[in-house]
Each structure stands twice: as structure tokens, then as C-alpha cells.
Amino acid sequence: MRSPVRLLAFVVAAVFVILAIRGRQAQPQTQKQPVIQQHAGAGHRPAAPAADKAAEKAPAAKSHGGWGGSYLHKAADKRLTGQLDRASKASPLMKCTGDLHIFKLSADELGRLNDGAAANRSTLGPMITGTAYRMPCRYESETEAAATLKDSCCPQTVNFRLGTTDFKVFQQVFQYHYMRYLYTLFAEEPPQYILDAGANAGFSSMLFKLLWPNATVVSLEPDPSNFAMLKANTKQFKGVHALNAGLWSHAANITVTTTEHGNWGRVFREAGEGERGMPAYSVQDLATLLSIPAFDLVKIDIEGAEGMVFAPGGDFSWISEAKVVSMEIHDYFGSYFGLEQDQVSRRVDAAFNTTGYQIASDNEHVMYIQPQHMEAVAAVLTKHAAEAAAAARAVAKERAAAFTAKKEAAAAAAAAKADQAP
């Protein structure tokens, strides 16, 4: 008769043998999986559901430096960009903080104002009006013999829609100074004619009129709701032509493709035959229509439609007359226009690569600067560099004087202490 210990050992060993046999039987079944996939063909991927296909076509989430991350940002002149950045940050206009005061606004409404920007929603809420103090502006000096624009900070009435991206755009333009390079690019030669394509709720057009009160601004916005806000925010300025229209390479009829990116991300396409839409014009068409000799500043922020504006075969004669062309380039949205990756950037690049324009970039905008205008810009940058160097020397001199005074005071104290010693 076997002992209980030996019996227990026998049972345990039997269990291990059974588990090992089952494991070997299961192993070939797991190895068959790759073989079956290979039979489907090399590189084969099962068909995705309709929802997954739509997700594959949709652009990725917005990156930190703008929608697209265009390679043209890297093509910018780093030295010029650095000089512009330093000069612009030193501008007195950077002290303008755009302090917003909205009266009779409940805590819930204020929450909707901020939440709409954070969530990138396009929900249309009621319009609210307030006053923004310390907005960047320039005014003509009355004491100078020649007309001179002086930097200042001014109050301005502003309008927003609750639950939209309006407040976020306001912050970008007036509180974060996203367009600050323009402070320097036109410091000496103010633009007379400005095209604001993709004017949204009108904050960029408002900035242009605050900086250059005598300029004529043509503001394009195809979205009806955004256009209503554009009108509300620019009605107090003279010389603003607000058009409910878009920018294209030719006269066209356009309609919205998607609104999923909020009020600041409306994407439009060319409408089909018999389809209702909004008018779109080329840059040259607008100049002719409004009897404008040439646009000095062209600002383009049109959610990927840059690929249409700079489509091969278009009329780019206006480029040579523009002193500065500032663009947000949206390769991110290229798929909505049937364009391949980076094709929006490539079309822009092709239109400018023989013009001799210099490129600067603040990671949000790509700015093309006319060779002739670079002379005025270079003078401003040279002046700023000289002033910065003089200021640095003054600080160094002041610090050296303070150090010398401190050293002399310490020596005098030591001498006095030595004299008092017995």
C-alpha cells in the first residue's frame, strides 16, 4: 500500500503531464493565425467599416504651431525671423494687454464664452458687447511737421458670440499678439490697401484699422454668421469693405464643406452646378472691382483654400505688388480639396519661389516680404539693433558703476573699521 505522500506526489505529477499535453495541442492553433493572414495576400488589410474610413480621411488634431505644420516654416530665413521677433517683442505695442470688460454678463454666460473657445464649438449664442481697454493702436501725431503714427494703447468696443471661438481669436490677436511681426514690418511705411481674406469675426480687420487708421481694408468672410460678426466689429471704422465672399484663384461659387472645426475652421469648396453658395474672387478681381491699385498687405487665413488660390495656372500678377503676404498654411485641410500631403504648401511655394521674396515665420504665419520693401524693414531692424545695443551698454555701464560704488563703499567701511581699532 502506497503512503499518502507518494500518492500526492503521483497526482501532482499527473496534473503537470496533462497540462503540458494540452498546451502542446493548443500551440499549433495559435500559430495558424499568421498563416491564414498570409493567404489573404501580402500587405492585405481587412476592409474598414464606413465610420473608420471617414476617420482615416479626417485631418489629425490641431498641432501647437497651427493647423498644418507646413514645411515652409522651416524654409524661413532664421536670421531675419530672429531679428523680427526681437524687434517686435520690443515694440511699445506689446505692452497693450487688450483688457476686456463686459458688463451685465452672468457667471454662466462668462463660462460659455470661455468654454466655447476651449471646446472649439460652433454653437451660436447671443451676441454680447463690451469694451477692450489697452488695445494696440497708432494715431497721427499733431505736433510733428510730417504725418507720423505714434504707438499707443486705446479702448475699443468689441462684440462676441457666446459658445463660439470668438473669444479665443480675440485673445490670439490682441492679448497674445499673434500678428506682432506686422508691428515691425510696417513700422516705417504703413500699408494703404489691405486684403483680409478669412476675416472671421473681424478681429484682424479691427487690428489693421487700429494700427493704420488711414488704410483701406477689404475683409472677406464667406460664412454668414462670421460675416455678421465681422460687420458688427468693423462698422465703427471708415474704409472697411466687408464682403460676404471667399478667396479663390478665379471667380467662383463656393459652399461649406465642413463646420466641425468651429467658427474659426469653416472649410469651403467650389459648389457644383445648380448648388447654392457664396461668391469667391481672385485677388486681382477684388483689386479691379474696388478700384484698388494694389494690395500692400495680403493676409490669408482660409482653412486650406490657399491650395485653390495658388492653384497652377492662376493669375499671380498681384504678388509682385504686395509688400507683405502673411498666410496661415493649412496642409491639415488639404484632403478636403482632394490635395495630397503638403500639396497646399507646394502650391504656395511654387507661386513665390521665383519672386525673390524673403520668408519669415512665427510658427503660426508664413510671411513673404517683397525685396523692395525689405529695404525699409532692414532700416527698422538696424535701428532696433542699434537701440538694443545702446540699451545693453547703458545697463552694463550702470551695473559696473553700481559694482564700483559697492566696492568703494566696502573699502571705505573697512578703512573706517581699521582706524577705530586700538
Residue with more model confidence, 363 or 115: 363
* SS3 category, 409: helix
Q: Is the pLDDT of residue 63 over 80?
A: no
Pairing of strands 267-270, 252-258: antiparallel
Mean pLDDT computed over 264-271: 65
The residue written with cell numbers 500631403 in the block is 341
Band the pLDDT of 415: cuts 50, 70, 90: confident
Q: What is the DSSP string of 76-134?
A: S-HHHHHHHHHHHHTSGGGG---EEE-SS--HHHHHHHHHHHHHT------EEEEEEEE
Helices 203-211 and 224-234 pack at an angle, to 10 degrees, of 30
With pLDDT > 70 as the criterion, what percentage of the chain qualifies? 74
Q: Is the pLDDT of residue 421 over 80?
A: no
Contact call for residues 302 and 254 (beta carbons, < 8 A): no
Q: Which residues contact 224 (CB under 8 A, 6 or more apart)?
A: 244
Band the pLDDT of 165: cuts 50, 70, 90: confident
Tell me the pLDDT tens digit for each residue of 375-387: 999 999 999 999 8
Mean pLDDT computed over 178-194: 97
Res 235: pLDDT: 96
Domain 71-95+165-382 in this protein, CATH class: alpha beta
- Phi first, then psi, for residue 177 (nearest 5°) are 55, 50
Res 355: pLDDT: 94
Band the pLDDT of 73: cuts 50, 70, 90: very high
Mean pLDDT computed over 251-270: 66
Tell me the pLDDT tens digit for each residue of 99-112: 988 766 666 666 66
Res 50: pLDDT: 34
**What is the pTM (predicted TM-score) of this model?**
0.76
Tell me the pLDDT tens digit for each residue of 13-53: 555 545 554 444 444 343 333 222 222 233 333 333 333 33
Whole-number Cα distances in Å, 30 to 18, 23, 24, 41: 19, 11, 11, 19
Residue with more model confidence, 125 or 29: 125
Helices 371-420 and 78-89 pack at an angle, to 10 degrees, of 60
Q: Is the pLDDT of residue 209 over 50?
A: yes
Side by side, which strands form the sheet with 252-258? 246-247, 278-281, 252-258, 267-270
With pLDDT > 90 as the criterion, what percentage of the chain qualifies? 53
Mean pLDDT computed over 319-328: 98
Q: Is the pLDDT of residue 306 over 70?
A: yes
Side by side, which strands form the sheet with 99-101? 99-101, 127-140, 149-161
Mean pLDDT of the chain: 81
Residue with more model confidence, 408 or 356: 356
Contact call for residues 193 and 292 (beta carbons, < 8 A): yes
Pairing of strands 278-281, 246-247: parallel
